[in-house]
Amino acid sequence: MLNAPEPSPAGRHLSAALILLVALVLQVSVANRLPLPGGVTPDLVLLTVVALALVYGSMTGAVAGFCAGLAADIIPPADHTIGRYALVYCVIGYVCGIASAEMDRQSLVPFFAVAAGALAGTVLYALTGMLLGDPRASWTIVSRMVPLQVLYDVIVSPFIVWAVLRVSRRYERGDRGPSRGDLSVASPARFRAMSGRGPGR
């Protein structure tokens, strides 16, 4: 319900909602519990929003970002001001969607875009915390956590982008209209090469 955007091209929205739900649950019950060095964990939800925005464009990016953010704000262990993630992910989704329209299809560009999105999202979230005077987002903590988190995000991002592309393609295969201009056409060819190696994750 919270994740379901308006059902115009239903399959696409459903698949986006499903991807986000899976990312959210994986985030809180797996990723956040990994005892990684530094006590920081990659932000799978942010990466998923960025990937969805790159595939589907700014409109879906903004709506998906808002919904995912709102869900991340109210999913049980959350204890921050409601609306912070919704704001941040919405902006990031929109900006990444805009960027995808003008993006070159060269092979490495999407990865840089995801890294940039992760950096912007993490910094923006820390900024909202500072604006609200959240003691958890004090400068000493933020300055230690943000670089490490961006590093983890960049490390994880290829897997997320690959998974999102793969799932969104599978769900779209049935009702595929005229081919979409951006990433979803350009990249699966090379991502398919990766998918041959590992079992579907």
Partner 1 sequence: MKDTRRNRTVLGALLAVALVMITVDYRGGDDSPLRGLRGVGAAVFGPVERASASVVRPVGNTFDAITDAPDQRRRAERLERENQRLREQVRAQRLDASRAGQLQRLLGTAGIGGYKIVAAQVISSGQGFEDTVTLDVGSRSGVRRDMTVMSAEGLVGRIVRVGPATATVLLATDVTSTVGARLEDSKEIGVVQGRGRRGLGNGGTTPLRLQLLDATAPMRVGQRLVTLGSQGESPYVPGVPIGSVQSIDQSVGGLTRTAYIRPFVKFSGLDVVAVVVAPPKSDPREALLPKPPPSPKASPRPTRSPSPGTRPSNPEG
Span interacting with partner 1, options 41-49, 103-111, 170-178, 184-192, rule CB under 8 A: 41-49
18 scored as a contact of partner 1 (CB under 8 A): no
Give min distance, CB of 35 to partner 1, in A: 4
Among 16, 40, 50, 92, binds partner 1 (CB under 8 A): 40
127 scored as a contact of partner 1 (CB under 8 A): no
84 scored as a contact of partner 1 (CB under 8 A): yes
110 scored as a contact of partner 1 (CB under 8 A): no
Q: Of 132 and 190, which has the nearer Cβ to partner 1? A: 132
Q: Which amino acid is at 162?
A: W
- The single residue listed with the structure tokens 């091209």 is 9
27 scored as a contact of partner 1 (CB under 8 A): yes
Among 4, 58, 109, 124, binds partner 1 (CB under 8 A): 58
Binding site for partner 1 (CB under 8 A): 1-2, 21, 24-30, 32-35, 38-41, 43, 45, 57-59, 62-63, 66, 69-87, 90-91, 94, 97-98, 101, 125-126, 128-129, 132, 134-138, 140-142, 144-145
